[in-house]
């Protein structure tokens, strides 16, 4: 009951009516053209629900409601998987969102599992965009910091900053996030001067 209530509050109320046409199978006696159109409509609906669930999960995370974000993030992953397949690089944002929500909810083993899956997909995608790679390193850095593994966190955040700055520039908003998280790690290590210089950079 608690799980169903959490799911309802998080995302199900928003997508309940949208699920009906997705779960309704197409009539058997259709022409090839009608079947193709039906399939295209199904994929459009699945993409829409995936985007809606992703955006909803992000809103919850920004509000600090990490537990509430988890069901929405899971729906984003599920519908992205149905559209793109289980090994597509298109799933990485959903895995990173799940990892962030899990970390915020204190479920570090789950976060680690989601990040491993994202990392595996990125490693298997030679032409993976830098935008995806820097976000992966940021998520890995944040998980390591949450686990208290500050040296490993700094390693991943340094990669995050390098990749983001090489694509977007040293003074970009994308790069500033890496500086901010790195400053937080140095602050936890009581290296206040370094932390303050990075905060100033942000």
Tell me the percentage of the chain whose pLDDT exceeds 70.
Answer: 83
Residue 6 has pLDDT above 60, yes or no: no
Tell me the percentage of the chain whose pLDDT exceeds 90.
Answer: 67
116, 111, 104: which is closest to 58 by C-alpha? 104
| Region 49-67 average pLDDT | 91
Q: Name the band, by pLDDT with cuts 50, 70 and 90, for residue 17.
A: low
56, 95, 89, 92: which is closest to 72 by C-alpha? 56
Q: Name the band, by pLDDT with cuts 50, 70 and 90, for residue 4.
A: low
Of residues 170 and 11, more confidence is placed in: 170
Residue 8 has pLDDT above 70, yes or no: no
| Region 175-186 average pLDDT | 95
Q: What is the pLDDT of residues 85-137, one digit of tens each?
A: 989 999 999 999 999 999 999 999 999 999 999 999 999 998 899 999 999 99
100, 96, 120, 101: which is closest to 6 by C-alpha? 101
CB contact at 8 A, 159 and 137? yes
* Burial (Cβ within 10 Å: 0-12, 13-18, ≥19) of residue 141: buried
CA–CA separation, 147 vs 67, rounded Å? 18
Q: What is the pLDDT of residues 23-42, one digit of tens each?
A: 556 556 567 777 676 678 77
Residue 44 has pLDDT above 80, yes or no: yes
Look-up: residue for tokens 């998080």? 10
* Burial (Cβ within 10 Å: 0-12, 13-18, ≥19) of residue 151: exposed
SS3 54: helix
Mean pLDDT lowest among 13-17, 81-85, 125-129: 13-17
Helices (H), the chain: 2-7, 13-23, 32-62, 66-84, 92-104, 108-123, 130-147, 150-168, 173-188, 192-201
43, 132, 57, 145: which is closest to 101 by C-alpha? 57
**Mean pLDDT of all residues belonging to the chain:** 86
Q: Which two tokens stand for residue 82?
A: 């149905």
The confidence score (pLDDT) of residue 37 equals: 67
């Amino acid at each position: 009951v608690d799980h169903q209530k959490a799911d309802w509050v998080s995302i199900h109320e928003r997508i309940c009516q949208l699920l009906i046409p997705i779960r309704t199978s197409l009539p058997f006696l259709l022409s090839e053209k009608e079947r193709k159109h039906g399939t295209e409509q199904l994929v459009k609906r699945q993409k829409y629900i995936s985007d809606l669930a992703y955006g909803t999960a992000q809103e919850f995370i920004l509000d600090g409601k990490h537990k509430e974000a988890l069901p929405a993030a899971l729906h984003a992953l599920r519908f992205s998987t149905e559209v793109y397949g289980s090994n597509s690089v298109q799933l990485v944002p959903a895995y990173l969102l799940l990892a962030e929500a899990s970390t915020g909810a204190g479920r570090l083993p789950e976060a680690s599992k989601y990040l491993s899956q994202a990392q595996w997909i990125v490693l298997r995608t030679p032409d993976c965009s830098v935008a995806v790679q820097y976000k992966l390193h940021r998520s890995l850095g944040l998980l390591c910091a949450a686990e208290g593994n500050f040296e490993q966190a700094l390693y991943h955040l340094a990669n995050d900053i390098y990749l983001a700055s090489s694509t977007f520039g040293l003074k970009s908003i994308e790069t500033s996030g890496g500086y901010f998280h790195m400053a937080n790690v140095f602050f936890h290590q009581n290296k206040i001067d370094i932390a303050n210089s990075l905060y100033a950079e942000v």
